[in-house]
Structure 1
Amino acid sequence: MFFLVCSYRKTNFSLGFVIGFGIAIWHWSRNDVSETTCSKYKSSKYSYREWAVRAGIKTFPLDYDELSYGNMDDGMLTEAAFLKHHVYVLCVVHVKKLKNAVAIKNTWGKHCNALEFFSLFSNDDLPIVQLRPKSSWHFLCDSIRYVWKKHKHKLHWVAFIPDDLFVLPENIRFYVTPFNYSKPFYFGHTLLFWNQLYNVAQAGYILSKGALSLLTTKFNSTEACRDGGKYWKNEDFYLGKRLSELGVVPRDTRDALGRGRFHGYNLNQLLFSGRMASLSDYYKKSVYPVPQGPECCSRHSATFHSSGADKIHLYDYLLYRLKVFARGGRRGNRPAPTPVPEEEVWRQFLREQGVGDADVSAQQFYELWKSEISSPDAFNEKLRREHLGSAPSGSGPGAAPRDDAPSDGTA
């Protein structure tokens, strides 16, 4: 009997369960996972949990501490890992700042099934697809054509993301799994502009394989893409317009409590109601309004603004690595392994100095230690000299400028 294990996460989808894998294996083996289940349950009226029950998947609680520090059996996976095997989410990032793209690659990008970067520039250290469009719609359209040609046999869903968003692919899978990806779906944060519904790019949006198939049929060349929209910074509006012409409109992606999943602003702006003035248009134009303040955001939010590479790494730590203690803790409280037992450290030091530990007084030990260990000031001076060559420290001509030094020469 196999079991599927789901770990506990504070925000992203993996909330402490063990899945009965025996029934699931029988179910998935009959056909492709999404084709089999989603062809029966096409509507969002089915929640993920209802879909799981209908698919014959059973869940059981599991202590997260055992999952983190115990030995996982060969027949066990986290529920999020199970979905990653069966719900293929391709993440497409439109890059403006290279450092943001690098941060994404090293953090949340690892949780996508595949990751593609597109930009107006190329880079030797990051696999960026360089495009030379005439407009932002041309850029988006050509990136859609590229991923369709390269990934169409694998992809189920494609997330289009600006490089200043933090994304939780697990929560995207949690939301889209009950839908049939072969049908045209278009998810995100929906605005109304010039009587046109569209999902705003700054919050990211999701297209199903069925939607991409329609678009690539209509825009089957870069020339067709070029002629489809001529203005910059309006590609999300044009996408909504072109999809509506094909009969595809945005859907309500709020959770059961009316809270949003796709957010174009950072959490500091969204969670505090006193800071909403600057976002008033964002809410006024929202077709499916969400509460302002602490109840703005779903516990299974999929995207929010991160404002830069440092915040991307911060959110990655908070969401994927930091754990709030709930129960257990037996394994997590174990001390870190050390190559030398603590009580042997000082004896080993004396042996390295050629002195027997029985013959050394406390004062002699201190003097030996002092001769080998630099003071903080001496250590900093050594690093400074190694960095600058033989130049002395100070503010003379040979000194390196400090990061905090004023640029205008004032003290």
Structure 2
Amino acid sequence: MYTSLNPELKNRLTRLARLFCVTPLFSGIIIGVSVTCFLFLLFPQVIYNNKYYDDFSHGLAKNQDSYLNDAQTDVDVIYPMLNKTVAHTLYEEVNVLCWVTTSPENHQNRAKHVKATWGQRCNTLIFISTKEDDDIPTVALPVEENRDNLWGKTRLALQYLYENYYDQADWFLKTDDDTYVIVENLRYMLYTQDPELPVYLGCKFKPFINQGYMSGGAGYVLSKAALKKFATEALPNKTICKEEPLGNEDVELGRCLEAIDVKAANSRDSGGRMRFLPLNLKYFMIPGTLPSDTWLWKYLYYPIEEGISCCSDVAITFHYVRKEEMYIYDYLLYHLRPFGIGFEPKLPEKYQDLHQTVQ
């Protein structure tokens, strides 16, 4: 049919026929790319590989060549600078039960974040509430849930601990659900103390009680002997501990313990710096953050210096810590390391004379 056509026209028809054959290929490519982009915008998880991203963000991507050599990448991943030998020794020798006071509305907002961070370093962790929650889990006590009844809640909690856990721990730490605890530093402080002596430690306040009492928010720790004396001597005596649930838990507990000769000990370090902080760390680090007429300055049993010297290098508790900060503290304490800076800690002799502490 083409034999009679002009050669130039024949060439044009041939190119046109080839174009029609190739066009479906290009059309398919264009449609495929368009559909892919559309799906990515609507459903990024279809294309986004979570497992690969998570591995890569931790320096563990198996399908990518590391920018750094393998030896340096391993250092980043396994933290060889972190020597846990001493911490493990303390864990075995200083048995601490942590009981966290919480409430039903804070089970998910606060309690679960304590459990996910510092709480897992306690030998035993118990959440005291007024409603059972298997997700945490909690111990529900028969007391009305409100701030005015904190004494009643604390009173029942201590009785519960004595009846169920007295033989399972040497020390019993109480905190709020917005308190962060460096449990290793707590064990270090307690290592030289005898749990068979009736004593309790924390951030010492001076009003109301002659020997002072420990701030509830900063947390306080009772020796095994102190818990026993409270449960067997104070609780049965209505003239020592009031039965009514109303009252500030830390003040009322301080009254009870003073009456049965449980010492309110000095928990500061050898430099006189605080280990138990009743407020967020930021209020002590920057001088002038807390006004001079703030209640805290009138309550503190011992004077403190604002700024970096306020707090011990082996501080134990920080109060008013938000849930996000719980994880920040965990990262800074247990993951972040200035390379090449460290120390080899040595433990002192166990059960030294307590008189230096209780004065």
Contact 1:94 1:162 in 2 (8 A): yes
Residues 331-350 of structure 1: pairs in structure 2 closer than 5 A:
none
Matched with 1:133 is 143
Change (3 A) 1:217 1:295: same
Matched with 1:151 is 165
Aligned residue among 275, 294, 310 for 1:280: 294
Task: Return the alpha-carbon distance in structure 1 between the equivalents of residues 293 and 132 of structure 2.
Answer: 34
- The alpha carbon displacement at 1:314 in A equals 1.3
- Confirm or deny that 1:264 pairs with 2:275: no
Task: Return the alpha-carbon distance in structure 2 between the equivalents of residues 69 and 160 of structure 1.
Answer: 31
- The alpha carbon displacement at 1:218 in A equals 2.3
Structure 2: unaligned runs, 5 residues or longer? 1-74, 343-359
Task: Return the alpha-carbon distance in structure 1 between the equivalents of residues 288 and 235 of structure 2.
Answer: 47
Matched with 1:163 is 177
- Confirm or deny that 1:78 pairs with 2:85: yes
Aligned residue for 2:189, secondary structure, equals helix
Contact 1:137 1:226 in 2 (8 A): no
Task: Return the alpha-carbon distance in structure 2 between the equivalents of residues 243 and 170 of structure 1.
Answer: 26
Aligned residue for 1:116, secondary structure, equals strand
Deviates more, 1:106-115 or 1:223-232: 223-232
Q: How many corresponding residue pairs? A: 260
Change (3 A) 1:281 1:118: same
Residues 2-401 of structure 1: pairs in structure 2 closer than 5 A:
68=78, 78-96=85-103, 97-98=106-107, 99-133=109-143, 135-196=149-210, 197-219=212-234, 228-230=242-244, 232-277=246-291, 280-326=294-340
Deviates more, 1:291-300 or 1:277-286: 277-286
State the TM-score, normalized to the length of structure 2. Answer: 0.67
Aligned residue for 1:117, secondary structure, equals strand
Task: Return the alpha-carbon distance in structure 1 between the equivalents of residues 297 and 168 of structure 2.
Answer: 36
Task: Return the alpha-carbon distance in structure 2 between the equivalents of residues 66 and 312 of structure 1.
Answer: 22
Aligned residue for 1:159, secondary structure, equals strand
- The alpha carbon displacement at 1:307 in A equals 2.9
- Post-superposition CA distance 1:215-265 (Å, at most 9, x none): 1102567x9699725364501101110000001231111112211000011
Contact 1:273 1:294 in 2 (8 A): no
State the TM-score, normalized to the length of structure 1. Answer: 0.59
Structure 1: unaligned runs, 5 residues or longer? 1-64, 329-411
- Give the number of the structure whose residues are more often helix, by fraction: 2
**CA RMSD, 1 decimal:** 2.8
Letter in 1 for 2:132: S
Task: Return the alpha-carbon distance in structure 2 between the equivalents of residues 314 and 109 of structure 1.
Answer: 15
- The alpha carbon displacement at 1:66 in A equals 11
Could you tell me the percent identity over the aligned residues? 32
Task: Return the alpha-carbon distance in structure 1 between the equivalents of residues 118 and 321 of structure 2.
Answer: 15
Change (3 A) 1:67 1:257: farther
Contact 1:273 1:292 in 2 (8 A): yes
Matched with 1:351 is none
- Structure number with greater Rg is 2
Aligned residue for 1:275, secondary structure, equals coil
Aligned residue for 2:308, secondary structure, equals coil
Task: Return the alpha-carbon distance in structure 1 between the equivalents of residues 117 and 288 of structure 2.
Answer: 31
Letter in 1 for 2:112: V
Matched with 2:49 is none
Deviates more, 1:208-217 or 1:266-275: 266-275
Letter in 1 for 2:87: A
Aligned residue for 2:169, secondary structure, equals coil
- Post-superposition CA distance 1:114-153 (Å, at most 9, x none): 0000012222311101112263222111111111222211
- The alpha carbon displacement at 1:154 in A equals 2.1
- The alpha carbon displacement at 1:280 in A equals 2.9
